[in-house]
């Protein structure tokens, strides 16, 4: 069953240019099973019509606190009690300010005072307005009161500026809505996840790396967030966006990843070493670009620190999960690594198989502990990650008991 099946969501739309995205947001939320009722401010109607949103949502659009017919039944109170979640998208600087000071001068702000439902804000405004001290103070106030702050994103804005302030994309808001209702079985846990490749410099323009895309590690980060964990993602260079809500620490080299991992690991409950870390680095990195003057070139390589082993050997080590990307003898190599590096679990995959592993959207894993193994068959990495996170938690809880 879809996570949003039969969930009652009020979508509040305020007067920003990003309002043009809301018909698609309504459609996508309905595709996930949600029942949507739309509330619009006067400003919102300058950007999108109530009739459009009524047609897509299948429900009448509410846009006035002083609608005599609706208020015969105390319509604003009925809406406030009906909602399982209120999403305000776009949430302009103005509506954020009015909610922060407790105003109730239109239907949307009145709902926010009258409801016991959780409220999520998707900020959308000019980047300078987002950074203004007043806006930041208002957002901080609402965050401390338990409001969900979804975004903003960064990029080119309608005014031509570039920076933070864009409303998150529709697919991101749908994902966050689904995640909000997901089972929070990792509540209270802090997961640190390494992801992506590392780059070991040869000279200022060249490096040694591998084919890791980071997709598996990022999918695990998203699945852990969805399940309620605090997530820190230590990532090598990738071309995908980190899940909204995680703390992202970007690194390049194995040495940088090692330093960050040892710094943060003592604070976490669970450490997932999913990154494809280079085993070796160049002993002497050239300070200038190496010219092609010879037919051959020799590089002296030295071994990098073993991140997962060093974290696993900490005095108060977290629950440790390693990864083994192999091309042969999968179980033997994986179990050997499990024991040698003092891990609790290891997830092994056969990267020699076409259509899974590096750079693929799909994967298949076998999860080994000291006493058993569990196969996770070929599927999209997001699905693999959800199953893996659940299995890790089962082993984590078993060890704590």
How confident is the model over 230-257, as a mean pLDDT?
Answer: 93
- Which residue ranges make up each domain of the chain? 8-181, 190-400
159 is catalytic: yes
Supply the pLDDT for residue 326.
77
Supply the pLDDT for residue 76.
63
Work out the percent of the chain whose per-residue pLDDT is above 90: 64
Work out the percent of the chain whose per-residue pLDDT is above 70: 95
pTM for this prediction: 0.72
Nearest to 323 by CA among 348, 344, 341, 305: 348
Does the bond joining 243 to the residue before it have cis omega, within 30 degrees of 0? no
Supply the pLDDT for residue 355.
63
357 — pLDDT class (breaks 50, 70, 90) = low
For residue range 25-53, what is the model confidence (pLDDT) as tens digits?
999 999 999 999 999 999 999 999 999 99
Supply the pLDDT for residue 79.
86
Scored b (16 or more CB within 10 A) or e, 262-287 reads: eebbeebbbbbbbbbbbeebbeeeee
Supply the pLDDT for residue 157.
72
Residue with the larger pLDDT of the pair 316 and 68: 316
250 — pLDDT class (breaks 50, 70, 90) = very high
pLDDT above 50 for 73: no
How far does Cα 398 stand from its chain's mean position? 27
The residues near 74 (Cβ < 8 Å, ≥ 6 apart) are none
Does 190-400 match 8-181 at the fold level?
yes
For residue range 74-108, what is the model confidence (pLDDT) as tens digits?
456 788 889 999 999 999 999 999 999 999 989 99
Of the candidates 159, 246, 268, 274, the residue annotated as catalytic is: 159
Average pLDDT, the chain: 89
Tokens 């200038």 belong to which residue? 288
For residue range 135-165, what is the model confidence (pLDDT) as tens digits?
999 999 998 888 888 988 877 777 777 778 8
How confident is the model over 331-342, as a mean pLDDT?
Answer: 91
For residue range 387-400, what is the model confidence (pLDDT) as tens digits?
999 999 999 988 87
For residue range 183-238, what is the model confidence (pLDDT) as tens digits?
889 999 999 999 999 999 999 999 999 888 999 999 999 999 989 999 999 999 99
H or E element: which one contains 156? Answer: strand 153-156
CB-based burial of residue 22 (10 Å sphere; 0-12 exposed, 13-18 middle, 19+ buried)?
A: buried
Supply the pLDDT for residue 72.
44
pLDDT above 80 for 285: yes
66 — pLDDT class (breaks 50, 70, 90) = low
Q: What is the architecture, at CATH level 2, of domain 8-181?
A: 3-Layer(aba) Sandwich (3.40)
Nearest to 310 by CA among 300, 322, 295, 299: 322
CA distances from 117 to 74, 146, 215, 343, 358 (A): 17, 11, 34, 42, 42
pLDDT above 50 for 268: yes
Supply the pLDDT for residue 1.
52
Supply the pLDDT for residue 69.
56
Supply the pLDDT for residue 350.
79
Which phi and psi (to 5°) does residue 301 adopt? -110, 145
Q: Half-sphere exposure of residue 10, counting CA atoms within 13 Å on the CB side?
A: 31
What CATH number matches the domain at 190-400, 3.30.1490.190, 3.40.50.2000, 3.40.50.10300, 3.10.350.10?
A: 3.40.50.10300
C-beta of residue 391 within 8 angstroms of C-beta of residue 347: no
Per DSSP, the residues of 37-91 read EEEE-TTGGGTS-HHHHHHHHSSPPB--TT-HHHHTTTHHHHHHHH-SEEEEEEE
pLDDT above 80 for 68: no
């Amino acid at each position: 069953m879809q996570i949003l099946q039969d969930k009652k969501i009020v979508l509040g739309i305020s007067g920003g240019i990003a309002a043009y995205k809301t018909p698609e947001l309504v459609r996508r939320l309905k595709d996930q099973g949600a029942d949507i009722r739309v509330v619009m401010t006067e400003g919102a109607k300058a950007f999108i019509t109530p009739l459009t949103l009524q047609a897509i949502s299948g429900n009448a659009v509410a846009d006035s606190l002083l609608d005599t017919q609706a208020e015969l039944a105390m319509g604003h109170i009925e809406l406030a009690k009906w909602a399982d979640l209120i999403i305000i998208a776009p949430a302009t600087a103005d509506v954020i300010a009015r909610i922060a000071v407790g105003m109730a001068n239109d239907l949307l702000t009145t709902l926010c005072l009258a409801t016991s439902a959780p409220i999520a804000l998707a900020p959308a405004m000019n980047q300078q307005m987002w950074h203004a001290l007043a806006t930041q103070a208002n957002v901080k106030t609402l965050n401390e009161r338990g409001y969900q702050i979804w975004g903003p994103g960064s990029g080119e804005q309608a005014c031509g500026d570039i920076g933070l302030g864009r409303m998150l994309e529709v697919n991101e808001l749908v994902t966050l809505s689904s995640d909000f209702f997901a089972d929070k079985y990792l509540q209270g846990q802090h997961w640190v996840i390494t992801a992506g490749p590392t780059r070991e410099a040869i000279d200022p323009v060249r490096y040694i790396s591998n084919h890791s895309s980071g997709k598996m590690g990022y999918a695990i980060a998203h699945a852990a967030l969805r399940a309620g964990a605090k997530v820190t993602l230590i990532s090598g260079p990738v071309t995908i966006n980190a899940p909204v809500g995680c703390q992202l620490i970007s690194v390049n080299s194995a040495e940088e990843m090692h330093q960050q991992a040892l710094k943060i690991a003592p604070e976490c409950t669970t450490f997932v070493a999913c990154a494809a870390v280079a085993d070796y680095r160049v002993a002497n990195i050239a300070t200038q670009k190496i010219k092609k003057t010879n037919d051959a070139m020799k590089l002296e390589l030295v071994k990098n620190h073993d991140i997962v082993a060093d974290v696993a050997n900490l005095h108060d080590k977290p629950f440790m999960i390693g990864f083994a990307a192999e091309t042969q003898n999968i179980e033997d190599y994986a179990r050997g690594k499990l024991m040698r590096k003092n891990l609790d679990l290891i997830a092994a995959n056969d990267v020699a198989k076409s259509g899974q592993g590096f750079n693929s959207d799909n994967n298949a894993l076998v999860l080994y502990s000291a006493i058993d193994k569990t196969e996770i068959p070929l599927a999209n990495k997001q699905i693999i990650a959800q199953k893996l996170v659940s299995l890790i938690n089962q082993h984590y809880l078993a060890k704590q008991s």
